[in-house]
Amino acid sequence: MNDIKSLGFSPDKYQKLENYLKHCVDKEGLPGLVFGVTRADGIPRFFSYGYQSRESGDLMRSDSIFRIASMTKPVTAVAMLILRNLGLCDFNDPVEKYIPAIANAKVYQHKTGNHTEKIAPKRKMTIKHLLTHTAGYGYDFNVPRALHADYDRSVHLPTQETTRDLGLWVAGLPLLFSPGEGWQYGHSTDLLGYLIEVISGKKLDQFLLETVFLPLQMADTGFVLKQDNRHRLCSLYHYQQRQYELLESHDACSEYSNKQLQAGGAGLLSTPEDYAKFMQMLLNYGDVSVPTPMHLALKETDIEELSKNCLDPALMPFNIGAGIAYDTEGYGFAYQVKSLLNASVKTYRVSQGEYGWSGSYNTHFWIDPQREIGALLMTQFTPFVSTSLEQETRKLFYDALRL
């Protein structure tokens, strides 16, 4: 356990964390998981346990491939910072400068009974509104019932939708409020994905590859599953009545083998090893911690900006909607990550300024800049935060950290 001591943990207390994770697999039926810890200047440590696929018997590994869903969003935010640093946009730019259809956006208003009205927004939507989920867009699961038909992608988009198709569809959606007047978790980041294509002149996956993944040597991260990596894709499970039932087999790879859609808000495949490299970059405030011939166009102030709360107090507390019990208590919201403003509300010794985000298949990451440490927890099951796994892991993680 010498590596644990060098990472700043009490070995005995850290062992309690690993024992808890083993219990989740051995006694509670979770098929498998990876927990990782990284410092800015060290080699990440991974604890892999259980199965990558329970049916095939393949063991979980730190290079197993996960569907990271909304953990795509912070990557998109970093890509936007790079676009700005290249002089191609400003975050105060109106979105309609690049996507003219936004000029026709309307705000939904509920009147009486079934009567609704759509009115012009009070101000123009900016890139910063998209970065902070204050643009007015929701998701199909968290908008008013009257807008369910508008927000149903299956009705409005082709089966083989592209990033452009998705972006233009989002641009035509009714807003829940005028930009800047509320917070709503939604399709804002998908519009950012299309915006990256419009501004850069490149497909989203190509821009991310050139500006983020290659400089960070994230060789196993992307929207498409490579043929020779198929054996590393985790199976996906559904948790119900204390049982984990197979939802999507590890060898059901067709969805990920030839994807036309590359969304800014979800859809990346990645590994714990790769995402830890992304986290190390954040911990290093934009510096790349591994030798690489490629430059990452970020500055220290960019990461400070990315992780700093942007919400007015009147917009807090916030939640992602639909009664989903994702922990946002004490948090503000920055660029696609939640940022802790009030550590005193937590029952564990977390630092002010801790930030991170999660994915709907129960992948999670958090970074504590004060203690210069980050952690990730990756599993593959739905529904999102339907167990106490993430919160218990966080508490044991912080309890094991020496002051």
Q: What percent of the chain lies above the pLDDT cut of 90?
A: 84
pLDDT at 282 over 90: yes
Q: Tokens 């508008």 identify what position?
A: 150
For 62-129, the DSSP string reads TT-BEE-GGGHHHHHHHHHHHHHHTTS--TTSBGGGT-GGGGG--EEEE-STT-EEEE--SS--BHHH
H/E segment holding residue 141: none
| Consecutive H or E run containing 222 | none
198-216 pLDDT per residue, tens: 999 999 999 999 999 999 9
Tokens of 345: 């509300």
Q: What is the pLDDT of residue 153?
A: 85
Q: Binning pLDDT at 50, 70 and 90, where does residue 357 land?
A: very high
Does domain 2-70+219-400 bear CATH number 3.40.710.10? yes
Chain-centre distance of CA 290, in angstroms? 23
Residue 350 has pLDDT above 90, yes or no: yes
pLDDT band at 10 (very low <50, low <70, confident <90, very high): very high
Question: Average pLDDT in the 91-110 region?
Answer: 95
Please determine, for residue 289, whether its predicted confidence score (pLDDT) is greater than 80.
no
**Coil vs helix vs strand at 182:** coil
Contact 267, 261 (CB under 8 A): yes
pLDDT band at 169 (very low <50, low <70, confident <90, very high): very high
The least confident of 40-44, 61-65, 71-75, 105-109 is 40-44
Pick the closest to residue 60 from 34, 22, 23, 86 (CA basis). 34
The predicted pLDDT at position 29 comes to: 97
pLDDT at 113: 61
For the domain spanning 79-204, the CATH number is: 3.40.710.10
Q: How is the chain split among helix, strand and coil, in percent rounded to 5?
A: 35, 20, 45
Would the pLDDT of 13 be above 80? yes
Residue 2 predicted with pLDDT over 90: no
Q: What is the pLDDT of residue 258?
A: 67
Q: What's residue 3's pLDDT? A: 82
**Where along the chain do the CATH 3.40.710.10 domains lie?**
2-70+219-400, 79-204
What's the pLDDT score for residue 290? Answer: 53
Whether 373 shows a pLDDT value over 80: the answer reads yes
Residue 100 has pLDDT above 80, yes or no: yes
Banded pLDDT at 254 (limits 50, 70, 90): low
Average pLDDT across the chain, whole number: 93
Model-level pTM?
Answer: 0.95
Is residue 20 over pLDDT 90? yes
Per-residue pLDDT band for 41 (boundaries 50, 70, 90) equals confident
DSSP string, 324-389: -----TTEEE-SSSEEES-GGGSSS-PPTT-EEEEETTTEEEEEETTTTEEEEEE--EESTT-SSH
pLDDT-derived band at 156, boundaries 50, 70, 90: confident
pLDDT surpassing 90 at residue 69: yes
Predicted pLDDT of residue 253: 66
Return the closest-CA partner of residue 62 out of 48, 42, 45. Answer: 48
**Tokens at residue 253, please?**
């790879």
Q: State mean pLDDT over 231-248.
A: 95
Query: Residue range 307-324: average pLDDT?
Result: 94
CB 359 within 8 A of CB 70: yes
- Residue corresponding to tokens 């960019």: 302
| Integer Cα distance of 75 and 375 in angstroms | 16
Residue 114 scores a pLDDT above 70: no
pLDDT confidence bin for 186, thresholds 50/70/90: very high
